Structures are given as C-alpha cells and as structure tokens.
Amino acid sequence: MAKDYKKQFSQIYDKHIDKIYRYVLLKVGAKEPAEDIVAEVFTKTWKKFRTGPEIRNCSAYLYQVARAEIANYYRTGAKVEFVSVDFVPIVDKKASPEAEQTLKGDLENLQRHLREIKDDYQDVLLWYYVDGYSTKEIAAMLEKSEGAVRVMVSRALAELREKMAKKWPETLFA
C-alpha cells in the first residue's frame, strides 16, 4: 500500500511540477520565492494525499493550493515582480540579436499586461495557451461547463489585447 501511493504521488509530481512551477513563477516573478512556494504546494498536497480523503482532481487541488500560497506570499508584503525573460530560452537560433531583443521586450510587456486582467482570466489563458490543458480539463478544474470555459478563454484573450492596445501609445514614449 505504502509503495503504491508513493508511486502514484511520484507520477502526479512528474506530471505537474513544470506547470505549477511556471504558474507560480509567472505570478510572483522571482525564482527563489517561486521555488519555495512550489515546494510548499507539493508538501501540502503530499500530506493530504497520504492522510486526507481522496483528492478528486489533483490538478485543481494543486492550483488551489498554489493560489493560496501566492496570496500568502503577497500578504507578507512582497512586491510585485516580473519574471526576467532570461528565464525563457529563445529557441530560434536564427534570430538576429535585434529580433531577440524585440521578442524579449514584447514578452516583458505581455507579462505586465497579463497581470492587469483579473486572476481567473489570467489562469485560463495560462492553462489553455501555455500549459496546453483542453477546455474539458479546465472545465473539470473549475467545475464549469466546457462552453463556459471557451467563453472565458475568448473574453480573457480579448481583454488582454485591449489592455495591450490601450497601453501601447504610452509605452511607445516611455
């Protein structure tokens, strides 16, 4: 029994670690706090997995704990930071230095505006476009219908575009 649940949790960890880390890093903006938060998320989940009632949806549970830990982090007075785009390897080796700089600038810009839309919208955009969850999987996590999730994704994207379009004239001259 003990070996079974260790193996099960190990599989859950392997499946989710990249996604939870990415989610937390994009929300808190700094590597060390992100690592601490993610470690705490999995510690709490592991404890629940061993001792508590069965977790029906592990993905949903992990993100729920992650959100709570991120909220605690900001409650302690941590400042909002943005992930240095040096964390994001630019894979296009043919890109010129200028193109690479432009892309890095765009990504920083994107990150800032992503933070301006509401949390639920941020989450569905990250889950759908960054982590590749299907609308069905997101619906299960949020306990909503697939239709509702598709609408959320569409609205979230529209809102993000709107934020970026509005701010663009300001940033052009910043």
Tell me the residue type at 90.
I
Establish if 103 lies at the interface with another protein (CB under 8 A).
yes
For residue 64, the minimal CB distance to another protein (Å) is 18
Among 8, 71, 72, 106, binds another protein (CB under 8 A): 106
- For residues 28 and 37, the answer to whether their CB atoms sit within 8 Å is yes
- Is residue 149 involved in binding another protein (CB under 8 A)? no
Give strand ranges (E) for the chain. none
Minimum CB distance to another protein, residue 60 (Å): 20
Interaction of residue 9 with another protein, rule CB under 8 A: yes
Distance, in Å, from the CA atom of 12 to the CA atom of 10, rounded to the nearest integer, reads 5
Among 52, 53, 77, 89, binds another protein (CB under 8 A): 89
Which are the contacts of 114, defined by CB distance < 8 A and separation ≥ 6?
26, 122, 125, 160
Identified binder of another protein from the candidate list 81, 100, 145, 161, rule CB under 8 A:
161
Query: What phi-psi label fits residue 77: left (phi over 0), alpha (psi between -120 and 50 degrees) or beta?
Result: left
Side-chain half-sphere exposure of 77, counting CA atoms within 13 A:
0
In whole angstroms, the minimum distance from the beta carbon of 77 to another protein comes to: 25
Residue 83 lies near another protein (rule: CB under 8 A): yes
- The distance of closest approach from Cβ of residue 136 to another protein in the complex, given in angstroms and rounded to an integer, is 19
How big is the chain, counted in residues? 174
Mask for 20-49, x = binds another protein (CB under 8 A): -xx--xx--------x--xx--xx--x---
Beta carbons within 8 Å of 145's beta carbon, 6+ residues apart:
139
Q: Are 23 and 66 in contact (CB under 8 A)?
A: yes
Binding site for another protein (CB under 8 A): 2, 6, 9-10, 13-14, 17-18, 21-22, 25-26, 35, 38-39, 42-43, 46, 50, 83, 87-89, 91, 103, 106-107, 110, 125-126, 129-132, 157, 160-161, 164-165
